[in-house]
Amino acid sequence: METDLLIDKFLKCESAVKVWNNPTTARKRLPITLTPTEEAYLQRIEYTHPKPRPRLRAQVLRRAARGETPEQIAKYVPLHPDTIKRLLTRFRKYRLAVLEDRPHPGRAPVLTPEMRATLLHCLRQADRAWTCAQLAELLHQQYGVQVHIETIRQFLRRAGFVWRRTR
């Protein structure tokens, strides 16, 4: 009895596969079309963008526009064909907005753009040397926010400031 159920399930699955692989019943995917402006923009992104994911997505979109299938594209890029299909589906809906990463969940940055501008303005004044503790105190006085000195040190490092001993 159980064997009959298993065979019946197998036959149903096999028939589903036959229907899916049948070119007359399977959903056809049309290649994407790019305007000359989009093509030029994607080419520039593919060769000059500083982040690897937008470069990879631009390469996938340009190959798809040339008529390559997701399986053919997957041979040249380190992406699964299903991932490529999802990217192409999103491209049809959002166009070039798919190049950049979507916002990631997580904690908001401690230093707001306004705080960063304040820090940079204070540091660019040539009449004074600042310590991270002094900058943290300045932020606390101006914005009422407690910022750890390590957060300030990391921001300064990314902004190109280096530590120097005062005389």
Per the CB < 8 A criterion, the answer to whether 64 and 88 are in contact is: yes
Same domain, 41 and 87: yes
pLDDT at 1: 52
Helix, strand or coil for residue 13? helix
SS3 string, 17-57, reads: HHHHHCCCCCCCCCCCCCCHHHHHHHHHHHHHCCCHHHHHH
Same domain, 66 and 141: no
- Domain count of the chain? 2
Per the CB < 8 A criterion, the answer to whether 159 and 120 are in contact is: yes
Same domain, 53 and 124: no
Average pLDDT over residues 108-120: 90
Q: Is the pLDDT of residue 57 over 50?
A: yes
Model-level pTM greater than 0.85? no
Same domain, 25 and 66: yes
- Structural domain range at position 149: 113-158
Q: Is the pLDDT of residue 72 over 70?
A: yes
